Structure 1
Amino acid sequence: MNYRKKEEKSWKKYVGKFTKLSTLALSAALLLGGETAGAAGGGNTDYSGAVDPDDKTNVMYIILDDAGYSDLGSFGSEIDTQNIDAIAENGLKYNNFHTSPVCSPTRASLMTGRNNHAVGMGNVANFDFGANQPNSRAKIPEEAGFVSEVLGENGYTNFGLGKWHMTPTVELSPAGPYDRWPLGRGFHRYYGNLEDSSDQYRPELYRDNSPVPVPDVDDYHYSEDIVENGIQYITDHASLRPDDPFFMYLGFGAQHMPHQVPEEYIEMYEGQYDEGWDVIREERFERQKELGILPEKADLAPRAPGVPAWDDLNEEEQELYARFMETYAGFLTHTDEQVGKLMESLEDMGELDNTLIMLISDNGASFSGGEQGSMNQAMAYNKVLQEFDHMYENMDEIGGERGGSDYPAGWAQVSNTPFEEFKGTTHAGGIRMPMIVHWPDGIESKGEIRNQFTHVSDVTATVYDVLNIDPPAYMNDTEQMEITGVSFSESFDDLDAFTGKDTQYFEHSGHRTIYHDGWKAVSVHEPGTDFADDRWKLFDQSSDFSELNDLAEEYPEVLDNLIDLWHVEAEKNGALPLSENFLDGLGNLPDDNLRARESFKFYPGMSHLSESASPLTLDRNYEITIPIDIEENDEGVLLALGNRASGYTFYIKDGELHYEYNNGAERYTISSGTALEEGANEIRYNFQNTGDNQGKGTLYINDGPVGEADVETLPFKISFEGLDVGKDLLYPVSPAYEDKGEFEFTGDIEYVHYQFEEPEYILSEEVDPY
């Protein structure tokens, strides 16, 4: 289906009306005087309560990833998001919606209706903080039933698509355990990626409980793929079970790095960002006021520390950084088109008006690209600065398979307009997000703005409320935890409705915030200091929308009460003890973590294994042994982990054995120099850690050393692509065989054995890659 060419479709016609509707919304906002961000149009119909349970109401969660508060056109952006904006103009925009500062905790709250620490997701699902922090092990318990499980017990068919990131990533192996995978949490069908971020051209895909190859189609893109599968799921359902409701969770990889989109979408924005981030941010800020998203008296946060003034950059820097933002904008427009295809399909099947749609972003825009951005996803994550000249000379690759880009922090602050800070902090830039609610059959108000304080845990509570579903006290013979989210359904048709949500705590890696009755207190923590010594800021949201005017000295009693309340909420939800190091769960694995084993043995034919479930080689002494049997002219990959950006590989080519380790900045190669003998050979690689992120690697054939190298390793994560035995799926680790496809080994591999010693060096840098 070519969405852009189907002019006769009513959804298309509706989208075409958006400009006119936006003009009306602007006029209404101006009539309000700009003093309060409220409704942008008329309509104060009293909400009549929950829908008749005999009526069919579908439910859909659409989650954008790392999209900031101002990125949508309906929230002030210049980016073309006409389909999402049309949903907003036929629904409601919530301008005081909050999430967790990073994705897994947000998704855990979204799906359970509870606070993230209370359900075991105190941090992202990649890290395991062990028994000392049981609520930061990414293990959402059965006591915290997912909305999919509850709806499933009430006659819903549940479809999951796209980014998951709610399972301990160490459990994302083709052998499970599967109980925390989508099908283990109430979904009937699932298709997408289970980890934290996905390549858009060659993702690590799963269907239900099985890894599957990337579809062999021209011009493949992940966002298109998950939406096409979602449309297929709905089509099947509507065709065969038209009277039954469905629930869909659709998690886009956009706008998370890597920013990848076809060139035509980048070209749409050519030259649009040449004026730079300072000008664009001011323009968005003024547009937000015109739209009524911000009150007229709102302030714009000053430029963030470490972000240079655009006019201070040289011509080459401006050219490169503009290209990064053109790519980001094109990426979002492409995502918006996929949303349009989904909306059009819903309308074609008569399922649009009776579908309650909640569209959010999971957290604020990320500063992980640093001051200059990056074209290497692994280097950006590991805080390794990429050479500017290399990026400038290859800027045409940004957005493509070889340019896994992340934009500079200056553009991330534009995304977070008008707020301070970024993803990973509990300042507004990290936790205050757009939310759009669309439900024509259940909401009479259209195109209005709601400013009630709302939290991601409230979304599922609202769904239960409007569907007249009482969350079960027991499910699968397990007593259920209390739903702590608060329904905001009364605000659907009453812009002044009081939802009862008066308190909400936030915490991430020692960053803390508490909201209560219009006030917010935000901690400022200096790394390495006692949390008890933190300075706290105090903001009055009723008069300071952007949370920039610190009132801590004027109202010390209010601040003290809020700090006390934070501790009460933190204790109640299991947010204690505090830890400032985001990476504790990576470098210091608890004994019961699957990656903490001292020995792994993999056999040929094993399915692709995600990096987060692969043996952890960072700062550890280890040995890899691969017994093989070869004949003349046998060649191929023995073992590979990673992709073009980073990773390691063992392969035989032209009779010689090669080992390569690529840290993104430098590629280390050890080669045998002579051909292997036919018959049985034992390949062995020994790595001795000599310090933080460095060591000596020695390659052996049949106990004889054939070469060695001093290797500088990546500090936190080797790659965003996993491990293969006997081939190299997806992207090749080495350019030496990138023209050979998977380069499957033609000889015989007996097994691949990893053996570890106790690490002599542990991660020492306390760096937050988010």
Structure 2
Amino acid sequence: MTEKKVISRYLNKLSVFSTVAVMASAFTLAGCTSEVSVQPASDEKVKSVSMSTNDTNVIYIVMDDTGFSDFGSYGSEISTPNIDRLADNGLRYNNFHATPVCSPSRASMLTGRNNHAVGMGQVANFDYGEEYPNRRGEIAPEAGTIAEVLGENGYVNYALGKWHVAPTHEITPAGPFHNWPLGKGFHRYYGNLEDSSDQYRPELTRDNSSVPMPEKEDYHYSEDIVEKAQQYVVDQVSMRPDQPFFINLSFGAQHMPHQVPKEYIDAYDGVYDEGWDVIRQQRFEKQKELGVIPKDAKLAPSNPGIIPWDKISEEKKSVYTRFQETYAGFLTHTDEQIGKLLETLEETDELDNTMIVLISDNGASSIGGENGSTNQTIAYNTLTETFEDVEKKADLLGSESVAPDYPAGWAQVSNTPFQKYKNSMYGGGIRTPLIVHWPEKITDKGEVRNQFVHVSDITATVYDVLGISPPKTIKGIKQMPITGISFADTFDDAGAVTKKKTQYFEMSGNRMIYHDGWKAISVHTKGKPFEQDTWELYHAEKDFTELNNIADKQPQKLKQLVNLWEKEAKANNVYPLTDNFLNALGNLPPDNPRARKTFVYHPEMSHLGESATPLILNRSYEISIPVTHSKEDEGVLLALGNDKSGYTFYIQDNKIVYEYNTGVTRYQIVSEQELPEGELAVQFIFEKTAANQGVGNLLINGTEIGEVEMKTLPFKTSFEGLDIGQDLFYPVSPAYAKLGEFPYAGDIGKVTYEFEEASISTLQ
């Protein structure tokens, strides 16, 4: 950083302090002795702004579902030159631990505290109800985020990309907004609030408002958020060069859907023809060469269900390799975007004094199953696509026509050298890359650090190196202690003793505890009492990939760790435990905003995210749509979803059509007679007859015009939300796919959803 810029920042902070002091003096002279309105939200603000001369910028780059070995600097054959540049000029950590799924990792990273303690015991899509206060999908206000803290210390804060730490039922055009980025300390936000995003047609939010998809040829979401990040940086250093910034840049990559232009996929043609067993072994050997893993580390055996490559047919090999070529191309494309941001930092003279932290929020996902998946909804609902179905769409991988995830065999490669995957307590679920790049402070460039680090330690480290003491109160709310522990001493000391002695883990009833080089992992069977769990014991300090279970040989050590887990769990609000996972998506506790018997939507309503729409899964319901119709009027009356799954009501050729697409089967009711003109009461009545199935009836003015027996999706209807009078983003029905948004030409009245009961429980 130039001397001029340092002086400018210092003088600006003196100016801020002087302004506050002058205003306070003016109030005193006027006879006002009570606390004045210019007082900061916390007692520490004036002191930190006036005394600190810290000008270091901070950037968090968060990858999604990216395995330990996926970067070139961690042993991969995938081209990631910009990420590797960060590693070569910074530090790589090989003993970093995230939580097994995304929302808890993000909540922990943003707050510097354990995820259950701040209220994020599960992903933000799930609301387990008031009996599970640690699993309601939001960060407690007692756990201020790094943006809130840095904002009180003179920083400008920007968030871009995936958020996913607000209850997804709150993602509505009317909020509430207190859990959105601007409600958590960020000054600007641009990205997607949900768990994942289509890369070509994302549901975007800018600050507190939804925005239409940019009309740009060859649009890609990863490119878009980085372009916005570049703009934020340039604007900041141009207008306020004296003020440091914090950026939270969170990619949708490498979460499904894996979507990237074809040229990136074709760049890996032939690279994976030898198959996942060979590639995994090659990565393992490369990791040893790079020093990313110890020389005596053992490669975990193949995970259950992974078929050896030499036992797979040539037809399947061809399709499976195309999935991995797509995944690799997607990652290279993401790396390219990171490179663009680095170029901007260099051009603005901000790179050297910017602390960049890059992680993956959890390990690689196996949800693609044996054959891989071309439809995100099918995979998410734990349904299976046959190989024949997948093969038909293999040439479309990477395009907007499919929403793919690769086969589990390739996810195993991503997690080399560990066993298991995302959502697991084993290394494949929680051991991910961590790179710290900070040219002004890191001198041991390119080295590997093996100290135990937890995702909660990252923000604690930032506070440490910036010399910031988190305030005791934020917005008048007393703050809980920061439980993360700084690992800043490892920046210049490879032999620094690990300060993080103990760290608990829990996800969906699966448990793990780390303590002083040892790990204990519970083995839980869903539905069984937790008291019946068995525990495995690993001396992680000597057993890098946790393969040698010595529970029988060290019973006292195991007992010590299990007791320690109990202590940590009680201290961090982990109880009560539950092993419910996807079925929690259908849980509507009484105080959930979706727990209503009646929903009434005006036709002018903005696009509504799927997770905030009326829950029609596995229950009876009615939908009423009043319209004023002329025989020339065509268009969509109501649509929820996209071309991968969802339901729609539309009028075409003066006939009304209802369609429900599971991604596997498309159900349809078409009126035989043309519609009369005038006022029409369109009504759809679904009667549940068994689990995830029932009978749907379509009526016009009280007269039944068609019936269909349907099997319905069990967990999530779609990854696109609800529109009235049009179908934004992807069309639900191919019948109007070439007609754009296909808005209805007539008038639509108030749309009503009716249910027999408001709240339902799926956690029994």
TM-score bucket (shorter structure): over 0.9
Say if 1:661 and 1:668, in contact at 8 Å, map to a contact too: yes
* Corresponding position: 1:365 with 2:385: no
Q: Displacement of 1:587 after TM fit?
A: 2.3
Q: Secondary structure at the match of 2:752?
A: strand
Q: Distance in 2 between matches of 1:759 and 1:355?
A: 50
For the residues of structure 1 that align with 2:594 and 2:262, how far apart are their CA atoms?
39
Name the SS for the 1:119 alignment partner.
coil
1:205 partnered with 2:173: no
Q: Which amino acid letter does the alignment assign opposite residue 398 of structure 1?
A: L
> Residue 135 of structure 1 aligns with which residue?
134
**Cα shift at 1:760:** 12
Output the amino acid matched with 1:478: I
Q: CA offset at residue 131 of structure 1?
A: 1.2
The 3 A distance-change label for structure 1 pair 577 and 762 is closer
Q: Which amino acid aligns with 1:684?
A: Q
User: SS at 2:196's partner residue?
Assistant: coil
User: Does residue 276 of structure 2 align to residue 258 of structure 1?
Assistant: no
Contact preservation (8 Å) 2:368, 2:406: yes
Alignment of 1:91-240 (within 5 A): 91-240=90-239
Matches of 1:583 and 1:129 in 2, distance apart? Answer: 11
Are 1:441 and 2:440 an aligned pair? Answer: yes
| Residue aligned with 2:93, SS | strand
What's the counterpart of residue 21 of structure 2?
Answer: none
Change (3 A) 1:690 1:761: farther
Given that residues 689 and 761 in structure 1 are in contact (C-alpha distance below 8 angstroms), is that contact kept between their aligned partners in structure 2?
no
The answer to whether the Cα contact below 8 Å between 1:689 and 1:760 also exists between their aligned partners in 2 is no
Query: 1:61 and 2:90 equivalent?
Result: no
Q: Contact between 1:636 and 1:743, CA under 8 Å: does it hold in 2?
A: yes
1:365-408 CA distance string (max 9 Å, x none): 00100111100000010111113212212211011111210001
Aligned to 1:4: none
CA displacement 1:407-438 (0-9 Å, x = unmatched): 01000000000101110111111011110000
Aligned residue for 2:579, secondary structure, equals: coil
- Report the Cα distance in structure 1 between the residues aligned to 2:682 and 2:202, rounded to whole angstroms: 30
Residues in 2 aligned to 1:328 and 1:414: alpha-carbon distance in whole angstroms: 12
Compute the displacement of 1:500 (Å).
1.6
Q: Which moved further from structure 2: 506-515 or 380-389?
A: 380-389
* Partner deviation per Cα, 1:63-84 (whole Å, 9 max, x = no partner): 0000000000000100000100
CA contact (8 A) 1:620 1:758 kept: no
**Equivalent residue letter for 1:680:** E
Matches within 5 A, 1:477-496: 477-496=476-495
Q: 1:762 offset after TM fit, Å?
A: 7.1
| CA deviation map 1:575-611 (0-9, x unaligned) | 1111111135322310111111111111111111000
Q: Is the contact made by 1:692 and 1:763 (CA closer than 8 Å) also made in structure 2?
A: no
Over the matched positions of the two proteins, sequence identity in percent amounts to: 61
The residue that corresponds to 2:625 in the other structure is 626
Where in structure 2 are the equivalents of 1:402-481 lying within 5 Å?
Answer: 402-481=401-480
User: How many angstroms does 1:53 deviate by?
Assistant: 3.8
Question: Helix, strand or coil: the match of 2:574?
Answer: coil
1:75 is matched with which residue? 74
Corresponding residue for residue 617 of structure 1: 616
What SS class does the counterpart of residue 615 from structure 1 fall into?
coil
Contact 2:192 2:203 in 1 (8 A): yes
Deviations 1:120-144 (A, max 9, x none): 0000000001111101101211110
Tell me what 1:700 maps to.
699
Written as runs of structure 1 = structure 2, the 5 A alignment for 1:449-598 is 449-598=448-597
User: How far is 1:759 from its partner?
Assistant: 9.1
SS state at 1:673 partner: coil
SS at structure 2 position matched to 1:400: coil
Query: In the alignment, what sits opposite 2:666?
Result: 667
Q: Matches of 1:200 and 1:761 in 2, distance apart?
A: 34
Secondary structure of 2:117's aligned partner: helix
What corresponds to 2:322 in structure 1? 323
Question: Do the aligned residues in 1 keep the contact of 2:588 with 2:761 (CA within 8 Å)?
Answer: no
- 1:713 aligned residue: 712
- Structure 1 window deviating more from structure 2 (223-232 vs 305-314): it is 305-314
Using the TM superposition, give the Cα deviation of residue 526 of structure 1 relative to its aligned residue in structure 2, in angstroms.
Answer: 1.3
SS at match of 2:373: coil
Aligned with 2:139: secondary structure?
A: coil
Cα distance in 1 between the residues matched to 2:159 and 2:668: 42
Cα distance in 1, alignment partners of residues 446 and 615 from structure 2: 50
Residues 639-668 of structure 1 deviation map (CA, whole Å, 9 limit, x = unaligned): 000001100000000100000000011100
Is residue 655 of structure 2 the alignment partner of residue 646 of structure 1? no
Q: Name the CA distance, whole Å, in 2 between partners of 1:562 and 1:746.
A: 67
1:684–1:701 Cα contact (<8 Å) kept: yes
Q: What's the counterpart of residue 310 of structure 1?
A: 309
Q: Structure 1, unaligned stretches of length 5 or more? A: 1-51
Superposed CA RMSD: 1.2
Q: Deviations over 1:268-306 (max 9, x none)?
A: 001111111111000000000000011111011111111
Q: Report if the CA contact (8 A) 1:97-1:435 is conserved.
A: yes
Gaps of 5+ in 2: 1-50
What is the CA distance between 1:763 and its match in structure 2?
5.5
Shift of 1:571: 0.8
What residue in structure 2 maps to residue 6 of structure 1? none
State the distance in 1 between where 2:490 and 2:532 align. Answer: 40
Q: Aligned with 2:272: secondary structure?
A: coil
- The structural deviation recorded for 1:444 is 1.7
**In the alignment, residue 734 of structure 2 is paired with which amino acid?**
P
What amino acid is the match of 2:474? M
Alignment partner, residue 736 of structure 2 = 737
Aligned partner of 2:121: which letter? G
- 1:221-253 C-alpha deviation (Å, 9 max, x unpaired): 000000000000111001011111000000000
State how far apart, in whole Å, the 2-side matches of 1:282 and 1:115 are: 35
Deviation at 1:91, TM superposition (A): 0.3
After superposition, give the CA deviation of every residue in 1:318-371 in whole Å (9 maximum; x if it has no partner).
111100000000000000000000001100000100000000000000010011
CA distance in 2, matches of 1:596, 1:396: 43
What displacement does 1:671 show?
Answer: 0.9
Q: Aligned partners of 2:392 and 2:270: how far apart in 1?
A: 18
Report the 3-state secondary structure (helix = DSSP H, G, I; strand = E; otherwise coil) of the residue aligned with 1:258.
Answer: coil
Alpha-carbon distance between aligned partners in 2 of 1:243 and 1:760, rounded to the nearest angstrom: 52
The correspondence of residues 283-294 of structure 1 with structure 2, limited to 5 A, is: 283-294=282-293
On the 8 A contact 1:619/1:761 being kept in 2, the answer is no
Q: Is the 8 A contact 1:692 1:762 kept in 2?
A: no
Match for residue 13 of structure 1? Answer: none
Distance in 1 between residues matched to 2:442 and 2:84, nearest whole Å: 17
Match of 2:40 in 1: none
Q: Distance in 1 between matches of 2:54 and 2:511?
A: 42
C-alpha separation in 2, matches of 1:724 and 1:325: 35
Secondary structure of 2:321 counterpart: helix
Q: CA offset at residue 533 of structure 1?
A: 1.1
Task: For residue 95 of structure 2, give the secondary structure of its aligned residue in structure 1.
Answer: strand
Q: Find the residue that maps to 1:674 and give its secondary structure.
A: coil
The code of the aligned residue for 2:677 comes to E
**C-alpha distance in structure 1 between counterparts of 2:371 and 2:651, whole Å:** 38
Matched with 1:351 is 350
1:332 matched to which residue of 2? Answer: 331
- Bigger Cα displacement from structure 2, 325-334 vs 131-140: 131-140
The letter for the 1-side match of 2:243 is D
Distance in 2 (alpha carbons) for counterparts of 1:138 and 1:588: 13
| Worse overlay, 482-491 or 538-547 | 538-547
Instruction: Tell me the distance in 2 between the aligned counterparts of 1:540 and 1:697.
Output: 57
C-alpha displacement of 1:535: 1.1
Mapped partners of 1:757, 1:623: distance in 2:
9
